[in-house]
Chain A
Amino acid sequence: MVDLAPPLLEQYIAQGGHGASEELRLSSHFQPIFSLAHRRPVGYEGLIRAIDSAGRRVPPLELFSKAPHGAARIQLDRQCRALHVRNFQKLGNASSWLFLNVDPQVATEGPRLGSFFAEMLESNDFPAHRVAVELIETPFEDEGRLTSAIEYYRKLGCLIVIDDFGAGYSNFDRIWRMRPDIVKIDREMTRRVTVEPLARRMFTGIISVLHEAGALVCVEGIETEAEALCAIDANADLIQGDYFAQGSSELVPENARSDVFARLITGHRADFADFQKRQHLRLVPYLAAIKNAVQDLSLGATFSRRCRGC
């Protein structure tokens, strides 16, 4: 049973094609985002849940397809964000980040419908520095306007999050232009690293480049222990996914997953020690041979003869 107690719920009236309208009930789910170093949630992503009049769950993509563009889209996007802030505030969490998705289209077109976000946060008494604004990956024509929208959120004091990095249009040029505080890695990449050695080798490097850009890195969409281990191995800062906790209308207790983290990190330590041992064993003969070669060369042996033994 979903708890449909009043303040958790809001109505949304979608206008159909022939003047018909449809009434949907909206509520918030929150999926925790964990810090690996702290082994507890440090943020929650607000996710919209919609139910139609027949009681059927309407997936977010379908919900947003009911207001594909223009003022209707901006209003729906704003309504969802306001609902998340109110619901999150009600849950009494006073320290974590709230991750809110913003459609880049809305971020750039919204201002012409009047200012909204700063007032909404203020009227709900929610500090901007606890809000992480997540920009959804989308091919975006007017990158200049997107940059100014981002400046708006940054000036308010919010953290800037880039979503789906490494896929489609979410690329390095975006990192340089937007200077995000947090970069979320594309789910498809997370899945790939567990099955493709090539992707796995590159994963650590990609995360390290993002660190060097001054961003925290969040690996999302983690569904299996193998994916979690890859994220740990690649030095991610934040992790999110059903493997740790699904989205829910309630917040998970702080230490709900400490045992999972303890197990994962111990497992990772063992894996890593194993790996180093294997690597060392394979390299031993080469290291010994090159050492000998260096010694012989420094004593005057000719290069070609000396390296035959390598």
Chain B
Amino acid sequence: MSPREVAANTADPTASDIDVFPVDADDGSRREYRLTTHFQPIFSLAHRRAVGLEALIRGTDSSGKMYLPAELLAQAPAGVARMQLDRQCRALHVRSFRRLHDDVSWLFLNVDPHIAVQGHRFGSFAQMLEENGLSPHRVAVELIETPFDDEKRLITAVEHYHELGCLVVIDDFGAGYSNFDRIWQLKPDIVKIDREMTRRVTVEPLARRMFTGIISVLHEAGALVCVEGIETEGEALCATEANADLLQGNYFAMPATWPPPEHACSELFGRLFAQFREESAEFRDRRRTRLEPYLAAFSDAVLAISVGADRTSAARALLDLDSTERCYLVAADGSQIGASAESERSAASRDTRLTPIRPITGTNWQTKPFFRRAIEAPGKIQITRPYLSATGPRLCVTLSYALLLNGMYHVLCVDLDFAALAGEDLAFGLAKAEG
């Protein structure tokens, strides 16, 4: 039994810490708000258990009306009173957290960046942690997304928390002002993805395809990625597929005064992983089946060209397939040799807006992944991720292959209409593909 479970079983849940915050109105009357801490667990996908708890404040007035964090803060007059309330909430969170006797998990605390930079007037954050016996390395400071006019002071605040030894978390990434410039400036340890993005990925194929890429960029920035606001199994699966590290949301556990026991979600994770495995396998099968005729026709074309057949006849069978857009040959320096052989269907649906970038002889593909990857691994077919076709208006994937012609490497390429290839299957994002 974990320390937390012991605590949960022995302590009286109603005896959790309660603070009172008085607000004096202009007419001299005084209202009091009872403050309690709710915890929402943050799970590690790899560990299948909670590794952190986000503390959320709940306020109740004398009539029993409940206030969510933003509503509660708004009750205190702006300025010193609001700052005091904010600090009082954090101190309460730390005390409540200590009462859980959890010696491993992170405590996620929300901090308004404005307050963070103003804040040493009433004693420091470090002091408060020390008084309550919580080591800073157990605390993840979550900076709320806000248009911040003085980015320099925000950077100073982040440096302050880093120096204390806290983890720094950026909230609501991908929406509003929480953008890549923040990542570079603040170098967060954990990035939380905006809830709106989480919701969008389950309904929009475009967002879903991009999700994996966004998370991988954040990983490359040296951050762990947390997907929050997960409310459905669909959203949980998307986050799993996209390689998130941490998950949070009512689907796993609602905020509560006592967090659920350590293994409360093991079964749920087991189901999630099983479904993920099944979907991935299904996806790979579908992808293989769909690509098979193209890979076969492409191999035939490579063979025909390498024994000296002319390109048009070598590619004919390939161009006759439903999703083929165009086939072209590229020299070792990346320049296209001759015009592309275009399928009739593709020629008929050209996007006139893309005329300035139509590929012609001499167009150089040296910097493109389909060229680079083929030339680095001759003799192997490469498959790209979907991107805007050079003749538009659709996404395409390119198959490419480096072969020797007259002693020089050449790359044969074929663009396939991604939407036609994927058909009705909107989740056909190639996101799960290993290629």
A: which residues have CB within 8 A of B?
35-39, 42-43, 95-97, 129-130, 139, 157-159, 166-173, 175-176, 179, 181, 186, 188-189, 192, 196, 198-199, 201-202, 205-206, 208-209, 211-216, 232-233, 235, 237, 265, 268-269, 272, 276
B: which residues have CB within 8 A of A?
147, 174-181, 183-184, 187, 194, 196-197, 200, 204, 206-207, 209-210, 213-214, 216-217, 220-222, 334, 352-353, 355-357, 359-360, 363-369, 372, 376, 385-388, 390, 394-395
**B364 contacts A37, CB within 8 Å?**
yes
**A214 contacts B387, CB within 8 Å?**
yes
A-B residue pairs in contact (CB < 8 Å), sample of 28: A37-B357, A38-B360, A38-B363, A42-B357, A130-B356, A157-B353, A166-B180, A166-B181, A167-B179, A167-B181, A169-B177, A171-B175, A172-B214, A173-B175, A173-B176, A181-B353, A181-B388, A189-B180, A192-B184, A198-B222, A202-B220, A205-B220, A206-B180, A211-B385, A211-B388, A212-B385, A216-B357, A216-B388
Bound together, the chains give a CA A213 to CA B213 distance in angstroms of 10
**A201 contacts B220, CB within 8 Å?**
yes
**B181 contacts A189, CB within 8 Å?**
yes
**B353 contacts A166, CB within 8 Å?**
no
**A202 contacts B206, CB within 8 Å?**
no
Q: Which residue of A lies closest to B359 (CB)?
A: A37
Q: Which residue of B lies closest to A139 (CB)?
A: B147
Bound together, the chains give a CA A97 to CA B356 distance in angstroms of 7
Q: Kindly list chain B residues whose C-beta atoms are within 8 Å of the C-beta of A196.
A: 184
> Known contacts A172-B174, A214-B206; is A167 also within 8 Å of B353 by CB?
no
Question: Which residue in B178, B213, B372 is a CB contact (below 8 Å) of A205?
Answer: B213
**A209 contacts B210, CB within 8 Å?**
yes
Question: Which residue in B176, B200, B214, B356 is a CB contact (below 8 Å) of A42?
Answer: B356
A-B contact sample (5 more), CB < 8 A, given A171-B178, A269-B366:
A95-B356, A168-B181, A171-B175, A176-B200, A205-B217
Most B CB within 10 A of own CB, among A37, A129, A157: A37
**B357 contacts A38, CB within 8 Å?**
yes
Question: Which residue in B206, B352, B360 is a CB contact (below 8 Å) of A213?
Answer: B206
**B368 contacts A208, CB within 8 Å?**
no
Q: Which residue of A lies closest to B431 (CB)?
A: A212
Q: Kindly list chain B residues whose C-beta atoms are within 8 Å of the C-beta of A130.
A: 353, 356
**A172 contacts B388, CB within 8 Å?**
no
Bound together, the chains give a CA A206 to CA B196 distance in angstroms of 19
> Known contacts A171-B175, A205-B213; is A235 also within 8 Å of B368 by CB?
yes
**B177 contacts A168, CB within 8 Å?**
yes
Q: Kindly list chain B residues whose C-beta atoms are within 8 Å of the C-beta of A265.
A: 334, 364, 366-367
Q: Kindly list chain A residues whose C-beta atoms are within 8 Å of the C-beta of B334.
A: 265
**A167 contacts B180, CB within 8 Å?**
yes
Q: Which residue of B lies closest to A176 (CB)?
A: B207
Bound together, the chains give a CA A261 to CA B38 distance in angstroms of 59
Question: Which residue in A39, A173, A216 is a CB contact (below 8 Å) of B364?
Answer: A39
